[in-house]
Amino acid sequence: MRGSTWRVAVIGAGPSGLCAAQTLLAEGISVDVIDRLAAPYGLVRYGVAPDHIKMKSVIRALREPFTQGDAHFFGNVMVGRDVLHQDLRDHYHAVVYATGSSVDRSLGVPGENLDGVYGSGEFVRWYCGHPDLVDLDPSLDDPNAVVVGAGNVALDIARVLAKSAEELRTTDVTDRVLSDLRMSRVRDIHLLIRRGPDAMKFTPQELRPIGELANADIIVHDGGLLDVIDVDGLERRQRQNIETLRTWVDRPPEGKPRRIHLRFLRSPIRMEGDGSVNCVVAEENTLKNGQIVPTGQVERIDAGLVITAIGYEAERINALPFDEAAGIVPNEAGRVVSAGSAVPDVYVTGWLKRGPSGVIGTNKSDAAETARVVIEDLSASRAPKYPDREHLRKLLAGRGVRYVDWSGWLQLDAEEERLGSARGAERIKVAERASMLDVACRRTA
């Protein structure tokens, strides 16, 4: 494959897209990475919690395509608006979509649309400084907040709400988010978990630090379940989680400013409020053969902020088929499949391909699989009408699209680091779209 002039477009500059780009580049393929935002890194930038600073160091590996290979970045270019799928087909031998799962799954209970109820994607993107959510202004005035779900996203949200502004000062959150969190009156954060302690999706490495927070006590409401669970038949991860919970269950609260409550066997059935949410009504569950069985017993939890962290589905891409039930693009090993046949030269990777599961590292093998099938298929691909990058640049310029190239992103990157140094942080994100573009497109002497 080396020395060929194959050209592939990767749509989405998050971890899955950049891992795919890396594998394709290693085979000498020319890759353009197109993202609707002016900044790369997708979920690493807009999904990893701000206080997970070490986890963000994966960026050092993700940026390699742009420093070492024939990869070009086209930021602030939205497929479906600025360029169409057909334009991509006209410029590339193959197109790999890696646009993730950005749509919050809904609980489907009454009151879910009240003000003060947010999906986790929305809330996380807000505190991560995503340009679409800078004006979210979430309600943080009530002492009680409810987070629904027992996955790592629910834990991230609970932790961010529980930490003091001083603890978050050295992260990359914007001054505006930091100020909102500083003014937050949230004191009790209730995690509503529909199953028992042996079925949580938290990873042990994420659960443990919740018990060591300087600003929050952890309170386990297990109704005696922890005493009766037999850990022998459980997976290692679940056993470790149970061990962690058992060390917390009898630990008296230390009177820290905030409290995180783990409430098991509770499903929200309704949210109440007059315009804005003020209460979550939850039903107690029992489990029979692993199935949730509601008991009819209800509990009311006052809360002025509710975040549902119950998973995501992909945003539909107009030109591609969609599996509504799974919330993904149907595919076989990354080859997009429609009515039982592969759609020629169109591929998916990451959450768009497999659904919202796994950690950042999972994308490496997943993207390698997609890249492998792209490479296998290239020699049979249709030759593009305009097989040169310059043509795409002219097309974008002709449509008035202010696209950001890698050097533009590096300007924005440097500006964020400069802003951070004034607050003792590694960086502070520039969040407003116009400001991002102003910095990234600024002409340097």
Question: Applying CB under 6 A, which residues contact ligand NAP?
Answer: 107, 148-154, 156, 194-195, 199, 201, 203, 206, 267, 309-311, 356-359
Name which of 109 and 368 has its Cβ closer to ligand NAP. 109
Q: Smallest distance from the beta carbon of 43 to ligand NAP, in angstroms?
A: 8
CB of 365 to ligand NAP, least distance (A): 14
Residue 72 Cβ, how far from ligand NAP at the closest point, in Å? 29
Inter-CA distances, 357 with 61, 267, 322, 323, Å: 21, 22, 18, 16
Of residues 201 and 427, the one with the C-beta less far from ligand NAP: 201
Nearest residue (beta carbon) to ligand NAP: 151
Nearer to ligand NAP, 310 or 320 (CB): 310
Closest by CA to 256, choosing from 203, 198, 293, 213, is 213
Q: Pick the closer one to ligand NAP by CB: 154 or 374.
A: 154
Between strands 258-263 and 188-192, the pairing is parallel
Q: One-letter amino acid identity for 38?
A: A
What is d(CA 9, CA 32) in angstroms, rounded to the nearest whole number?
A: 5
In whole angstroms, the minimum distance from the beta carbon of 196 to ligand NAP comes to: 10
Q: How far is the CB of 398 from ligand NAP (least distance, A)?
A: 39
Cβ within 8 Å of residue 51, ≥6 positions away: 159, 160, 163, 167, 168, 171
Q: How far is the CB of 29 from ligand NAP (least distance, A)?
A: 29
- In the complex with ligand NAP, which residue's Cβ is closer, 156 or 413? 156
Give me 391's structure tokens: 């043509």
Distance CA 42, CA 173 (A): 16
Number of neighbouring beta carbons within 10 Å of residue 60: 9
Shorter beta-carbon distance to ligand NAP: residue 321 or 355: 355
Name the minimum Å distance from CB 193 to ligand NAP. Answer: 7
- What is the smallest separation between the CB atom of 401 and ligand NAP, expressed in angstroms? 32
Q: CB under 8 Å to 372, separation ≥6 — which residues? A: 23, 333
- Nearest to 103, CA basis, from 122, 128, 83, 79: 122
Residue number, 304 or 356, with CB nearest to ligand NAP:
356
Pair of tokens at residue 271: 């949210």
Backbone angles phi, psi at 45, to 5 degrees: -85, -35
* Residue placing its CB nearer to ligand NAP in the complex, 216 or 280: 280
Beta bridge partners of 302: 279
DSSP string, 13-52: -SHHHHHHHHHHHHTT-EEEEE-SSSS--HHHHHTS-TT-
Provide the b/e sequence for 298-330 (b: ≥16 CB within 10 Å): eeebebbbbbbbbbbbbeebebbebeeeebbbb
**CB 108 → ligand NAP: shortest distance, Å?**
7
Residue closer to ligand NAP by CB (options 164, 267) is 267
